[in-house]
Amino acid sequence: MQLRKVTAASAAVLALALTATACGSDDKDDSSGSGGGKKISIGIKIDQPGIGLKTPDGKFTGFDVDVATYVAKELGYDAKDINFKETKSQDRETSIERGDVKFIAASYSINDERLQKVDFAGPYLLAHQDILVRADDTSIKSPEDLNNKKLCSVAGSTSAQNVHDKLAPKAQLQEYGGYSECLTGLENNAVDALTTDDSILAGYASQDANKGKFKLAGFQMTNENYGIGLKKGDADLKKKINDALTKMVSDGSWEKAVKANFGPAGYKNEPAPKIGNVVK
C-alpha cells in the first residue's frame, strides 16, 4: 500500500513537470532560428510613424516593422509567431545582451561605439540627420543657427550631441524620453527644433494631425546607416539576416515597403545600400 501511494504521487509530480515544461516552451525564442512553431521576440520602436508605430488597435506598422517581418519569415517564422517588443534607444544594447530579443530593427544606426557591444546585419537603409521646426519658423536656415536654440532629441540618441559637437556648440540640448514628447515640446514652444533622422521626421510631419504644423529643414548633416542589431559573435544569424535583406531588395519587397511607409510624406530615399557598405 505504501509503495502504491509513493508511486502515484511520483507520477503526479512528473506529469505536472512535463506539463509546465511544455507550456513554457511556447514562450521562448527558437535559438536555432529555424521557426518550427516557436516564437521570436524582435525589438522595434512603437512611437515612430513610418518607421515603427503601435496603432490604437494594437497593430504594428512602419518600414522597420516590414523589414523585421520579412526577415523573420526568411528565418522560418510566421507573422503570428513574432512578439514585437518596444525597445527605447537607450535600452537597445542591453536588450540584445540580455537576450530579451533575437534582433532589433529600430532605426538603429551602425557606429563604432555600438559595434563594441553588438553586431549588425545590413545596412538596409541610408538616412540622414535633419531637424524639424515649426512651419512658421524662419530663424533656422542652417545648422549653425541652432546656436542658443533649444534642441530636442531622445535619451540614448547621438543626434543632438552630433550637432552640438560639430555644428552648433552653443545649442542647448534637451533630452526627452521619446520623439513624441519632443514633438509636443516643439508644438508648445518648449523647444525650438527636434533632431533625428530625416526618415523619422518625415513620418511625424506627414501625420494627419501634424500636417501644416512642422517642416523639415533639409539639412543632410550625417549619414545614418540603419542596421539590424544582434548578439555579438552570432555569425550564423548575421549571415541569415543579411541573406534575407539581400532577397528583400532583389524581389522588390524593399522598394514596396519604402513607398508604402515614406511615399505619403514625399520622402526622397537613397537607393537600397549594399550589405556591409556603411557610408561614413
Paired residues of 53 in beta bridges: 47, 61
Say what the pLDDT of residue 243 is: 98
Fold topology of 128-216: D-Maltodextrin-Binding Protein; domain 2 (3.40.190)
On the CB side of 41, CA atoms within 13 Å amount to 15
90 DSSP 8-state letter: G
Q: For the segment 80-131, what is each residue's pLDDT rounded down to a tens digit?
A: 999 999 999 889 999 999 999 999 999 999 999 999 999 999 999 999 999 9
What is residue 208's predicted lDDT score, i.e. its pLDDT?
78
Rg (CA), the chain: 22
Residue range(s) of every CATH 3.40.190.10 domain in the chain: 40-126+224-265, 128-216
Instruction: Give the pLDDT score at 257.
Output: 95
Flag residues of the chain having pLDDT under 70: 1-37, 264-266
Question: What's the pLDDT score for residue 207?
Answer: 80
Rounded CA-CA distance 199/216 in Å is 10
- Helix or strand holding residue 15 (H, E): helix 2-25
C-alpha cell at 48: 515612430
- Secondary structure (3-state) at 48: strand
- Looking at residue 125, its pLDDT comes to 97
Pairing between strand 150-154 and 193-197?
A: parallel
Contacts 24+ apart (CB under 8 A), 114-120: 114/229, 117/93, 117/232, 118/92, 118/93, 118/229, 118/230, 118/231, 118/232, 119/229, 119/230, 119/231, 119/232, 119/233, 119/234, 119/238, 120/227, 120/228, 120/229, 120/230, 120/238
CB 239 within 8 A of CB 257: no
75 CB-contact burial (10 Å; exposed 0-12 / middle 13-18 / buried 19+): buried
What is the pTM for the complete model shown?
Answer: 0.76
- CATH domain 40-126+224-265 topology: D-Maltodextrin-Binding Protein; domain 2 (3.40.190)
